[in-house]
Amino acid sequence: MLFRTAVGDARPLRHGPRFLHPLPKPKPIPLQSLRDQREVLLDSLSDHVYWADSLESGEELAFLRPGLQNQVLRKLRRGHWVTQGELDLHGLTVAEAKLELVRFLQNCQKNGLRCIRIIHGKGLRSKNREPVLKHKVAHWLMQRDETLAFCQARAADGGGGAMLVLLKAY
């Protein structure tokens, strides 16, 4: 009763036309340029590579760009450089892994990262229990000009399921 006497002569507000604030327009994205760059990078990462330039001992993959001293690879194996970035390719298909690697390397180049870790997995869940991505990633990295060296990661950093990569400074 008190409520009715308190609001007895009150009337509901009229609902007039509401003003809707326009949403900010998104910045233009150069989609065609991005597509072109992606295509060029994918084409540069073909699967045809000559392995004579690599150093391979047993299951461990290692690569050193011609003209560099073996000491660079030795330092990389011993963890001389701090790992500044990491990419995990576990569970991805070869095509997905290739795209992710391209994006990651672009990002590393843009941000000036020199030493990175790429986790490709040991292949325990793949057909024949063999690592599929291990050799593919090695092929792709060898074709990139910014790759100076790579080797299998130390046991504490992933062992046979990962590799350490040394990139050029830009």
- CATH code, domain carrying 143: 3.30.1370.110
Q: How many domains does the chain divide into?
A: 1
Write down the pLDDT at residue 129.
Answer: 64
Q: Is residue 120 part of a domain?
A: yes
Query: For 54-75, how does the pLDDT look when each residue is reduced to its tens digit (9 = 90+)?
Result: 444 455 789 999 999 999 999 9
**What residues make up the domain containing 123?**
61-167
Q: Is residue 121 part of a domain?
A: yes
With 0.85 as the threshold, say if the pTM is over it.
Answer: no
What is the arrangement of strands in the sheet containing 60-64, beginning at the earlier edge strand?
A: 54-57, 60-64, 147-152, 162-167, 115-119, 85-88
| Separation of alpha carbons 141 and 54, rounded Å | 11
Q: Is residue 151 part of a domain?
A: yes
| Secondary structure percentages of the chain, helix, strand, coil, to 5 | 40, 20, 40
